[in-house]
Every structure is written in C-alpha cells, then in structure tokens.
Amino acid sequence: MAYVVAKSNGTWEARESVRTGKGPRSRTLASFRELTPEVEVKIRGRSSGTIEIEDLRSKALRAGAPVGTEVDRLAARLLRAIEAGERPSHRLRRMLLDELGESPELSHEIERMKMWTGASMEERGEALVDLLGVGDNLPARDFGERVVFPRLRSVS
C-alpha cells in the first residue's frame, strides 16, 4: 500500500508499507517537491506491487502535496520560452488562443510571476541570495535618541 507524507524540509515522500516477519515496515519509494509524471514513473518502478497513479495522485492531494501533470510541465516550459523572447508559429499561437479562450487582463503581479513559472529550485535560490545581498547593502538605520511615549493612565 502506497501513501504520501510531508517531510519537515518541505519535501514529500511516497512510501510503501510492506509486511515482514518482524512486523510492518515502511520504505521510501521517492522524495519529491512536486508529484510529476517523472516521479510517478520512479515510484512505479521502485514499488513491490502495482500502484494506481490516480490513487497516488489523490493521496498526494489529500496530504497537501503539489501535483503536476505533463500538461502543467509543458505549459510552464512554454511560458518560460515566451518570457525569454521565443514565440510559437502564428498557426500554433492561433490554435492555443482558440483552445484556451479569451481571458481577462492579468494583474501586474501575475505578469511578474509568469517569469518564475517552472523555474528550477537552483534559479529560485540564486534569486533569493541576490535579494538578500541587496538587503545587506541597504544603509543601517540610525536610531539616534530613544523615543519616549507619554504614559497612559488607566481610568478606574
């Protein structure tokens, strides 16, 4: 029987419970940050029994793990390529627009988030280190004299 558990470091584990002569044991099939088709293949390959992928996805969702699909992965790659200046052919662009339909205007925040869609953990980590470096270069605040607030008297 396979199940999904959260780890303290923000990752997830797909585990399998097996019976042994010394009682039930659990073994890790795969650790992941998002349950993707690649992770599912790894889990299926390491499992001693058969695993229904839909059942595994449902257990991951119930545990709170992010579940990605092949379509999500491809859409993220397409968005990253577009943000990098690449464009699909006119025919494919028209087909995508027709299939996806018209959408309302996206907010500025969502437009900025598109560039991080599908970014690797390494890229996100580098950006965070850069951001922390900016914070380190800000001038320290001079507190000067201590601010004294007037005493509040309670009403009895």
The model's confidence at residue 86, banded by pLDDT at 50, 70 and 90, is very high
| The pLDDT of residue 156 | 64
**Statement: residue 116 has pLDDT above 80:** no
In this model, does residue 107 exceed pLDDT 80?
Answer: no
pLDDT digits (tens, 9 = 90+) for 18-33: 888 999 999 999 999 9
Mean pLDDT of 55-75: 88
Asked if 20 and 30 count as a contact pair (C-beta separation under 8 A), the reply is: no
DSSP 5-31: EE-TTS-EEEEEEEEETTEEEEEEEEE
* Cα(26)–Cα(19) distance, integer angstroms: 9
